[in-house]
Structure 1
Amino acid sequence: MGGKPSKKLVPNRPLPKPMVPVAQKAVPKREVKMVPPDGGWGWMVVLGACLTFFFFPAVTVAFGVMFRDRLVEMGANSTSFTLIGNALSTVWSFTALLAAPLSELFGHRKITMTGGLLAFLAMILSAFSTNLFTFGLAYSVIGGIAGCLCTFNGFTIIPLYFSKRKGFANGLVSSSSAMGKIAMAPLVQLLLDTYGYKWACLVIAALSLHSCVSGMLFQPPRWHQVPEPEDSDCEIIDMEETISSTSRDESHYERLRSRSVRGGGEEEEEENVIFDKPTASPSVPPVRRQKSEDEVVLFTREAGQEHAQPKTVVERHLSVESTLSWAGSLDMMPPVGHKVFDDDGDAGNGSCCDDFVVVKVFRMLNYSMLKDPKFHLVAWPNALCIMGYLNSMYALPGYITSLHYTDIMAAFAISVFSATEVVCRLGFAALSDYGWFPVEKAYVFGIALSAVAMTALTLVPTYEWILFWVAMNGIALSLTSVLLIHLMIRYLGQENYAQVIGFCSILNGLTLITGGLIVGAAHDHFASYKCVFYILTIYIGCGAVIWIAWGGYEFMKSRARSVSVRPTIE
């Protein structure tokens, strides 16, 4: 009498007003397509690739300048000379087949940095080699593996960062390779004249470590992908739906809060209320009949018990939201049994050999690509062009010096070729991104022009005309190098680009080793560099014939489709 009113027990604490809106059920989730950023960190990736391609011509293209005299001291003839040079390209090409799966398993960074360390080791061993066998093992085998691992990702990662500007980005990388040829050939000759063979090799070995810096810039492309621009409107609509649904949910919480007090009256003060159980989430108790004022509720029936009352739609909705809100406060758990590649459901049922990296790499290759005629259309002319390009660079210094010109003039001819490539590769790459540019016709024209330049090079009498046709060959090979990426993606798809390069490299290696042996044997037999360029002309001309034949086939097929079938008159 006259004291404090007695406290009552109520089923649960009133639902608090949520601090943050939870509207998982109100907004339908829409899948957003992620695309390359076409810039951003992609330009840093281009910078890293340019570093590698700038310094690596000192090991490859300057082979004739750097190692010619050293191999002659070891007793090498023309066949041995070309065999060692083409063996590096062959090992390089065969390694490229495995480079795409290795990059998928271990990442672009690790593979590129490993290549830089192997390139450093190859040049150190080449500096101290005393016979042809050890030199070939160090330069051709280790150097070939290193060259592939260093440069492979520089090209294959470009389509992952660029979509509309991939031609221009690829042109920048190709131009850096040409700039390396301009700088490295005279630099190698200067190092040889100043420090001698061993110290020149050591300096080039140190420059090869720039590939490790390039690898550090090759971040995973998924880190920088952006939503497709066409999905921006959908995102705005979803946000509006989220706001409206959040407002509706807040009104639901207000109504349930007012209903939580017994009798539907005004909310009582919290000091006069004792709650019979704690609540970690704003779950709604089942709807029960109204109790009298003298009735005390100590327990509530859970949903999992017998004779539980079915939940209403609102109660089920809030129960799901409570569970999601609680789960959203926990850290994301990593998926169990995550694998880097899919082996068609054979995991766990295979042999112990399935865990080896080599087995995984070979199982990740798409061998059905070899049955596609379009693959051979792209691969064989490219292999013939590369064989002609590399062997012409190997033979050009010897051809110029055989005409009684100096070594500096021979190195300058390579620089002229590379300077032409710098300008033309960047220009052609920028033009290739436009829809009106005839990619296929320009590619075929480049192959044919290269064959003409190879022949004309041997027919001119003066050094100035030699430089002119060397520059024309640079223009021609610039077309073939920068337009190849468009043809690969157009005929075989962007998703297969890395593996297309790998399989194309196999054909490149086979063509290089066989063509190099033929070229070296012809030079030893005829003792003339002119026959070497004639053979290279035949090889490159065959590549042009393949594309011309394909163009004729497509033209005849289109004409046959355009002819209408006339109905026969009885």
Structure 2
Amino acid sequence: MTGIATVEYELVPPDGGWGWMIVLGAALSNMTGQCLVAIFSILFGDKMLSLGFNTTSAAVIMNTMMAVMQFSGLGFGLVAPSGFIAVKTYFLKARGRAVGMYMSGGNMGQMAMPHVVRFLLENYGFTGTMMVLGAAAMHGPAGSLLFHPLEWHAERRPVASEFKPLKGEPDGSTDCATVDVDRTKLRQPRHFTSVTSLANSELGDVNEAVPVHYSKRRPTTSEEDTSSVRQKPEPVWRRVIAFMDLDLLRNHVYLNVMFGSACTITAAINFSLLLPLYLQRHLRLSMSDTALCLTMMAAGDLVARLTLPSFTDRLKVKPRLTFFIGTVFCSLTRSVIATSSGMVALCIWNVLSGFSRGAAMINTNLCVAEVCPEHKLPAGIGFNMVSCGILLLTVGPAIGYVRDETGDYPLCIHLLTVLMLVAMMSWLIEGVVHWCRRKR
């Protein structure tokens, strides 16, 4: 009896269709969960003053909350990476635009929440405001109900056969059993390497580069046969490295990306904490004017997330380049805000700062995906979040301490600018080094 041919299929993301519902669900969760970062100082500012807390205490509270989210699967720390991976799984060509629309949900919340919180505080007080915000956060689980497995909506495309009949061999005369045996021989596993590093996996699997018959150049003895059977078990530390994908930390490019994104996220969170305090306590703006400035920044961020991905996808601009340009301009515009006092100038520079921040933040996880193999992407994003948590617990309280010791809000904002520029300088040095190597 002849063998029955089996056809292998691969799942092709729909690049649309139900994928846009995935984007909607992730954006809804992002809208109700991430807005607390922008309104932290407005919501807790008067409360902390009544309790006698200074800026250092506020920075410790804020950065500890964000660090816990980065370190664990607690709260919004579970929502952010899962939403990105779900959106990324459903899109290929329109991935940048889809990620931008997903992340714009947070910006829509940041645009509305300052005015909502101001209204709630004036009418219901701190306790009533917290209860309303808690109820709004319950819309996040409703958005997650739209998440479906990819198998339900993906196109099943047959995998092209890699095996062709030999020259001079008739197509139909070959016995099926013989063909199956030959294919089994061709598909034998290839060894000689155990754990492939990230740098090698970007160029291709090293295991595929070494043919099996290389080990058959000399006959094997019986002693070698028994030794191959009695192989020592792999050490525990190697199994831990393979299980947790710790070999990612051996790649300098990934480490540089992780450092740059961690510095940018840390600076963004602490700037969100300092900006309302700077506007209210240093410039003596009212709460409504402060909310307007925050809304203008969120509006610029939203415009960047909705428009830039279409251009970068069409022009095939790499995420790291967009992140680099956005981070540099974001750091400079924040320093300009720290030297401005007029309401019109503040609104204009907040829009520009928000636009450049959106250009950077939209590419944070895409930068990790650019230098990380597909099967190691969850671990890569996880390590990136851990590095952000470490910086949040160190840089954030230090910035608050500087503010309490000097009483200077603009100085703290300039220090965050320096942090971002140092990170981008390391990216620039890496790019120059790689360019010099290619020239050689």
Structure 1 position 557, deviation (Å): 0.8
Aligned equivalent of 2:388, options 508, 511, 515: 508
Aligned equivalent of 2:94, options 165, 170, 183: 165
Map Cα deviations across residues 403-438 of structure 1 (whole Å, 9 max, x no partner): 121011111111101001111111112223235335
Q: Which residue of 2 aligns with 1:321?
A: none
* 1:363–1:544 CA distance, 2 compared to 1 (3 A): closer
Letter in 1 for 2:40: F
Distance in 1, Cα, partners of 2:427 & 2:329: 14
Q: Which residue of 1 aligns with 2:29?
A: 52
Aligned equivalent of 1:544, options 394, 419, 424: 424
* 1:493–1:392 CA distance, 2 compared to 1 (3 A): same
Distance in 2, Cα, partners of 1:485 & 1:222: 24
Q: Which residue of 2 aligns with 1:136?
A: none
Distance in 2, Cα, partners of 1:517 & 1:479: 27
Q: Which residue of 2 aligns with 1:174?
A: 103
- RMSD value over aligned CA atoms? 2.5
Q: Which residue of 2 aligns with 1:468?
A: 348
Q: Which residue of 2 aligns with 1:193?
A: 122
Q: Which residue of 1 aligns with 2:198?
A: none
Letter in 1 for 2:20: W
Q: Which residue of 2 aligns with 1:85?
A: 62
Letter in 1 for 2:360: T
| Structure 2 counterparts to residues 32-111 of structure 1, below 5 A | 32-95=9-72, 99=73
Q: Which residue of 2 aligns with 1:29?
A: 6
Task: Assess if the C-alpha contact under 8 Å between 1:418 and 1:474 holds in 2.
Answer: yes
Q: Which residue of 1 aligns with 2:254?
A: 375
Q: Which residue of 2 aligns with 1:148?
A: 77
Task: Assess if the C-alpha contact under 8 Å between 1:159 and 1:494 holds in 2.
Answer: no
Structure 1 position 188, deviation (Å): 1.0
Task: Assess if the C-alpha contact under 8 Å between 1:428 and 1:482 holds in 2.
Answer: no
Task: Assess if the C-alpha contact under 8 Å between 1:35 and 1:227 holds in 2.
Answer: yes
SS at match of 2:32: helix
Letter in 1 for 2:422: C
Q: Which residue of 1 aligns with 2:367?
A: 487
SS at match of 1:227: strand
Distance in 2, Cα, partners of 1:376 & 1:504: 9
SS at match of 1:59: coil
Q: Which residue of 1 aligns with 2:407?
A: 527
Structure 1 position 457, deviation (Å): 1.3
Q: Which residue of 2 aligns with 1:213?
A: 142
Q: Which has the larger radius of gyration?
A: 1
SS at match of 1:437: coil
SS at match of 1:151: helix
Structure 1 position 519, deviation (Å): 0.6
Distance in 1, Cα, partners of 2:25 & 2:316: 31
* 1:25–1:161 CA distance, 2 compared to 1 (3 A): farther
Map Cα deviations across residues 457-502 of structure 1 (whole Å, 9 max, x no partner): 1222412112222222112111111223432222112322222111
Q: Which residue of 1 aligns with 2:331?
A: 451
Distance in 1, Cα, partners of 2:142 & 2:331: 38
- Larger CA deviation: 550-559 vs 54-63: 54-63
* 1:40–1:207 CA distance, 2 compared to 1 (3 A): same
Runs of 4+ in 1 over 6 A off after TM superposition: 360-363
Task: Assess if the C-alpha contact under 8 Å between 1:420 and 1:474 holds in 2.
Answer: yes
SS at match of 1:205: helix
Task: Assess if the C-alpha contact under 8 Å between 1:171 and 1:425 holds in 2.
Answer: yes
Question: Gapped runs of 5+ residues in structure 2?
Answer: 162-171, 176-232, 234-238
Structure richer in helix, relative to its length: 2
Distance in 1, Cα, partners of 2:365 & 2:13: 17
Letter in 1 for 2:353: N
SS at match of 1:433: helix
* 1:67–1:364 CA distance, 2 compared to 1 (3 A): farther
* 1:176–1:89 CA distance, 2 compared to 1 (3 A): same
Letter in 2 for 1:392: F
Task: Assess if the C-alpha contact under 8 Å between 1:38 and 1:164 holds in 2.
Answer: yes
Q: Which residue of 2 aligns with 1:302?
A: none
Letter in 1 for 2:279: I
Structure 1 position 233, deviation (Å): 8.9
Task: Assess if the C-alpha contact under 8 Å between 2:28 and 2:140 holds in 1.
Answer: yes
Q: Which residue of 2 aligns with 1:425?
A: 305
Letter in 2 for 1:48: G
Structure 1 position 530, deviation (Å): 0.7
TM-score under structure 1 normalisation?
0.61
SS at match of 1:157: helix
Task: Assess if the C-alpha contact under 8 Å between 2:9 and 2:159 holds in 1.
Answer: no
Question: Gapped runs of 5+ residues in structure 1?
Answer: 1-23, 100-144, 235-244, 246-312, 314-349, 351-359, 561-570
SS at match of 1:492: coil
Q: Which residue of 2 aligns with 1:497?
A: 377
